[in-house]
Structure formats: structure tokens, C-alpha cells
Structure 1
Amino acid sequence: MDRTPKQVQDLTLALLYLTSLEDHDDPASRRCWKGYDFQTLADLQAQGLVEDTQGRIPLRLPPQGIAQAKAVLQALGLEDPRP
């Protein structure tokens, strides 16, 4: 159940993507730090847009989360800085 506003979720997802690193264990995914509101992260996880990594600090952005983050950036008129 979403408890945080959709705009907060979208912007958090975009920031997670923009600050993410390559995931060497899964090249289709990216790793990011979970220094954001825990409820927002829980809502994003419930939607399948981020994955917890068994309590470790980094989260995983799966392909669907990456695609959604790119869509948010595009909707905001921002270019994706990743090659």
C-alpha cells in the first residue's frame, strides 16, 4: 500500500538511479544507497521498483526500477547522464 505521495516516490526513484553504481553481481541492475525515507523505500519495494539486499546498506535497482527512473527523468525534461 502506497503511503507516500507518488511525486515523492518518483523523485526518490530518480535520485536513487542518478546516484547508483554498477552492480557487478547483476549487470542488468544497479546498486544504490538507502539514505532516503524508509516508508518511501518500502513503498517502492512493494511496487517492485527497488529490492532490498538482505539488510545490507545498498539497495538494488532492478531493470523495471531503472526504466521507471528514466521515465521520471524524461518527464521532468532531464537528460539521463548515463551512457
Structure 2
Amino acid sequence: MEYDQEKVDEITLALLWLTSFKDPVGVRTWKGQNWETMERLHARGFISDPKSEAKSVLLSEEGLKRSKELFTKHFSLNR
């Protein structure tokens, strides 16, 4: 099936904000999303390399900011 990868990446990044949490290194998020999508987000600098054995990835500063913006854009009741 063909789909708009940009839209999928945007929604995935928004959902990564929903599952984010702080740890001593920074803000992490669970990486239980589509691998191809996670690779694209990594290539764009939003997350750390998802190929590690860890169950989570670090959100970059830009990734954290953008993920929160996208979550608000797509899921806020106060739009």
C-alpha cells in the first residue's frame, strides 16, 4: 500500500512525545514504532539511532520540541 511517509513520520514523532520520559541522559521515548519510520526520524536528527539494543531512543533537542508541537497540533482538544 502506498502512503504519505511525511504524514506518518509526523504522527509518529507526535506519539513519541506522548511516550517520552526524562532520564539522567536526557529525554527518552519508547521505540515500539515502525522501523522504517524510526530510521527516517533518526536520519532527520530527531532521535538517536534506533538500532541499539535499548528499548528506547533519545529525543534530540529539536526532536523533543517538534514532537511536542506535533502532538499539540494533532491531538489537542484546544485547537
**Which structure is richer in relative contact order (CA contacts within 8 A, separation 6 or more)?**
2
Aligned length: 73
The secondary structure found in structure 2 opposite 1:59 is strand
Provide the TM-score with structure 1 as the length reference.
Answer: 0.75
More helix by percentage? 2
Instruction: Decide whether the 8 Å contact of 2:18 with 2:71 is kept in 1.
Output: no
Instruction: Give 5+ residue unaligned stretches, structure 2.
Output: none
Percent identity, aligned pairs only, is: 30
Moved over 6 A (4+): none
- For residues 1-83 of structure 1, the aligned pairs below 5 Å read 5-26=5-26, 30-52=27-49, 55=52, 56-76=54-74, 78=76
Aligned CA RMSD, in angstroms, stands at 2.0
- Measure, in 2, the Cα distance between the counterparts of 1:47 and 1:34: 16
Provide the TM-score with structure 2 as the length reference.
Answer: 0.79
Tell me by how many angstroms 1:53 deviates.
6.6
